[in-house]
Structure 1
Amino acid sequence: MKRMSCSAIGRRLVACLLNISEARRRDLVETVARSAITDKHGRKREGVTVLNIFNDFDYNRSVITIVASIDLIREAVLSACEHACSLINMSAHEGIHPCMGAVDLVPLYPLGKEVGLEDCGKEAQALATALTERVAGTSAFLFGWADSPQHRGLAQRRKVVGWFRKTFDMSTIQPDVGPQPIRRFGITGVGASPYVMNCNVTIDTQDLALGRGVAAAIRETSPDGIPGVQVLALHHEGAVEIACNVESIQGGSPSLTNGEEPWPSFTIGGQNFCHAPASLITARVAEMAGLHGVAIKGTALVGFTPNECRSLAEEALSKGIGEYWKELHRVHM
């Protein structure tokens, strides 16, 4: 059978950076990932790839990057969610990172030229409904373009359901889809938005208060914050990690100073978007931490930039590679 060209494949692509509340059992995480690329009979799903699996032991959280056309993404992600819910019990979960669900986050990001945010929003709504129907006891809240017509962002919706609290009462949470949440599954955030990267910068201190000050300084809502950056400071591997969600913003680069590099850009449905580069976030964190005599230990980009994600997905799908994360591992060994 003749394979499609990358240009033909790329027009309707959607990425899901599936966040599950488990990282310490690698075999379990890989089982969830494989369920996205195989059907219930164990046969390979054509047109679906898992680009990357990121595990964090301290956080006890994994991010699985699933890419397919918008016509195929729902079944692939649902299969992964079903397996995760059957294998992860939130009653026994321990980890530093905030979380509320066995499947904690299901964001859909348009990568293709012919896929818009509205398309992904409708697909996310359908996915949330299907999950609560297939796995009895699961429930979801919606964000972004799935949260119609408000289009409230993920951070805002997380605050409403109490995601940032250390402890929470399931009986007080009002889901958008499904029944009252139960401890076994928790509640899942399902939504759609322009691509969101995860960029984590580690600073060489165990002083969490200092880390929170650094995080506050670069947060989007601060006077000199970085547009699109939502951030937490968390203890991590004997240091403090400045964990950033880097949201894509509409338009071109903000005003640049001191020789800053232009922000990487991409297009969704004819509209231009861009995102803060990891180099800028690292530099700002280094600057703020340096005011207290603290150095940075390193920067980790969880997954890919939007352009990298699309390019790698086109390569993986054109070659029919479902377990692409293994190819990446071999390349980086």
Structure 2
Amino acid sequence: FKSAEKAADLIDLEKHKGEHPRMGATDVIPFIPISGVDMKDCVKLAQELGRRLGEELGIPVYLYEEAATRPERKNLADVRRGQYEELKTAIKDPERKPDFGPMKMPRAGATAVGARPPLIAYNINLDTGDIKIANKIARLIRGSGGGFKSVKALGVMIEGRNLAQVTINMCNYKEAPLHRVFELVKIEAARYGVNVVGSEIVGLVPMDALLDTADFYLRLEGFKKEQVLESRI
């Protein structure tokens, strides 16, 4: 709550431009069950925080994923549709009415608050400055394009490096593991005569996701998580 309050004080979306879709200074707040809590607990937390942001800060709040109040708001991309610029007008439409807060857009924008499984933010860099290639690959691998159901992706440019990037949100790494996504991007890039020059994980990642990747590439036999040194300390 305090972070969102400070962001609302400091960030003016009227003056903000960027590559990544966004609709608010505090764009999205997910609650993720790790240990000692379940998804129902996280949904309750999302509802409580959403109500406070709306009532105390006057920020329009949309509940998404497991906390969504409507099926069409489960997908964050649908909630964020049009971004800040279009939502300023669309928010007056009853169909886009926020779950909490006013039906008008402050300069700090709106916030999506939800509950979901762990998400992996994963970017794959290509040795091309052609963003059209990155967008074509992104379209093929994401669920809305007939690819991995739990994958969202788009093409962006990396400023200062003249590299196109496929930026990916992996919403369920058990359904679509890191290595499967990486290999598919490699295959599709090769069709355009392009190579993968690197990849990056943004933020935190579940250990199991990395162990699955190591298992795939190293062809480990009978390996268990308990064999990881840090897990025994």
Letter in 1 for 2:88: M
Counterparts of 2:61 and 2:42, CA distance in 1: 16
Structure 2 residue 56 is the aligned partner of structure 1 residue 123:
no
1:222 to 1:91, Cα distance in 2 relative to 1, 3 A = closer
Amino acid at match of 1:199: Y
Q: 1:308 to 1:79 in 2, by over 3 A?
A: farther
Return the TM-score normalized by structure 2: 0.78
Aligned partner (choices 183, 196, 201) of residue 283 of structure 1: 183
Find the partner of 2:10 among 80, 87, 108: 87
4+ residue runs over 3 A deviation? 148-151
The 1-side partners of 2:135 and 2:19 are apart by: 15
Do the aligned partners of residues 89 and 222 (structure 1) sit closer, same or farther apart at CA in structure 2, a change above 3 Å counting?
closer
SS of residue in 1 equivalent to 2:43: helix
Which residue identity is paired with 2:148?
A: I
The answer to whether the aligner puts 1:155 opposite 2:77 as a matched pair is: yes
Alignment TM-score, normalising by the size of structure 1: 0.56
Deviation, structure 1 residue 184: 1.0
Contact 1:143-1:189 within 8 A present in 2 as well: yes
1:96: how far off? 1.7
Compute the RMSD of aligned alpha carbons: 2.2
| Contact 1:202 1:299 survives alignment (8 Å) | yes
Q: Note the C-alpha offset of 1:149.
A: 6.1
| Match of residue 145 from structure 1 | 66
Q: CA deviation at 1:301?
A: 0.5
2:131 is equivalent to residue 213 of structure 1? no
Structure number with the higher strand fraction is 1
1:91-124: CA deviation from partner (whole Å, max 9, x where unpaired)? 2112221211010011111101x31112111110
Residues 182/189 of structure 1: CA separation in 2 closer, same or farther (3 Å cut): same
Distance in 1 (alpha carbons) for counterparts of 2:168 and 2:99 = 26
Name the % identity.
32
Q: Distance in 2 between matches of 1:86 and 1:275?
A: 39
What corresponds to 2:199 in structure 1? 299
Name 1:170's counterpart in structure 2.
88
- Structure 2 unpaired stretches of 5+: 92-96, 210-233
| Deviation at residue 286 of structure 1 after TM alignment | 1.3
